[in-house]
Amino acid sequence: DQQVKQNSPSLSVQEGRISILNCDYTNSMFDYFLWYKKYPAEGPTFLISISSIKDKNEDGRFTVFLNKSAKHLSLHIVPSQPGDSAVYFCAASANAGNMLTFGGGTRLMVKP
């Protein structure tokens, strides 16, 4: 039973355009959400996070939006760069226990 789902296994975007990666969750106890970026043969790298008390968090080219009523979050990358090509994982936690539940990942390819 997947509590965190990333329904798009891959996404291809042109350099300079916006990349939008989506994530849905089912557990209403989740109150903290994170995005990780992963290059091949490396560990996931923390990118950006958002608490459930907010609906938006921005860090440079990266913005995460949270829609609690829809149990949906998205990561926007603007403008997209070839170096952004990686697998992006959405993760969530219920804050008690520091246990992260990950989605299955979305492979982003940014074409020059």
Partner 1 sequence: DTAVSQTPKYLVTQMGNDKSIKCEQNLGHDTMYWYKQDSKKFLKIMFSYNNKELIINETVPNRFSPKSPDKAHLNLHINSLELGDSAVYFCASSQWRTNTDTQYFGPGTRLTVL
How many distinct helices (H) and strands (E) make up the chain? Answer: 0, 11
Rounded CA-CA distance 12/34 in Å is 22
- Residue 18 or 29: the one with the smaller Cβ distance to partner 1 is 29
Residue 57 beta carbon to partner 1: minimum distance, rounded to whole angstroms:
11
Residue 102 beta carbon to partner 1: minimum distance, rounded to whole angstroms:
4
Tell me the two tokens of residue 5: 């789902």
Rounded CA-CA distance 48/50 in Å is 7
User: Given the rule CB under 8 A, which residues bind partner 1?
Assistant: 32, 34, 36, 41-46, 49, 51, 87, 89, 93, 95, 97-102, 104-105
Residue 56 beta carbon to partner 1: minimum distance, rounded to whole angstroms:
17
Angle at 90 between CA 88 and CA 94, to 5 degrees: 160
